[in-house]
Amino acid sequence: MTQNDLSKTLPLRGLHTYAGGCLCGAVRYEATVDLAGVTRCNCTICMKYGYGGGVGMKPDAFRLLKGQDALKKYGRDGSPNTRSFCGRCGVVCYGDGDVPELGGKFVSIYVNTLDDVDPSLLTFGYWDGRHDNWAAGPRPTPWPFQAAA
Ligand SMILES: [Zn+2]
């Protein structure tokens, strides 16, 4: 596809089914999401795993097509929430878990792993997860590491 060929451009608003996966191709999936809901978070786990941004959905909107055997999971001890990454190429693909305050079971995919989605065209919301400031919700600009005085 050339830079000026917009024929493959996917909608970035509204529910749409996107294909994605890891770098080496071992892990492939589809997700039906609205990219208007993409967010980044400044918590320690999101920072260490990369700041690409994620979009959440109910588990039934996510379909793992291949790679169950290649996937590895990491989660903090006692947490129901994990990140899944390809054990072959190392790309972090998605997270899943259960946060009752945010609607229960979820899957959140990293938008940078979606095919044919240009993150430069997305508008990110920013969570202040570093301070467990979930009640504030996402805002249009990043939160600093340092808590507001
Ligand atoms: Zn891979």
Q: Count CA atoms closer than 13 A to 133's CA, side-chain side.
A: 19
Q: Which of 3-7, 50-54, 100-104, 123-127 is modeled with the greatest confidence? A: 123-127
* Residue in 115, 117, 118 with CA at minimum distance from that of residue 28: 115
Distance CA(86)–CA(69), nearest Å, equals: 9
CATH class of the structural domain 15-115+124-129: mainly beta
Distance 141 CA to ligand 1 centre (A): 32
pTM of the model: 0.86
Q: What is the pLDDT of residues 98-120, one digit of tens each?
A: 988 778 999 999 999 999 899 99
Using the mean position of ligand 1's atoms as its centre, give its distance from the Cα of residue 74 in Å: 16
Q: How far apart are CA 51 and CA 71, in angstroms?
A: 20
Distance 142 CA to ligand 1 centre (A): 30
The per-residue pLDDT for 5 is 53
Residue 112 alpha carbon to ligand 1 centre in Å: 14
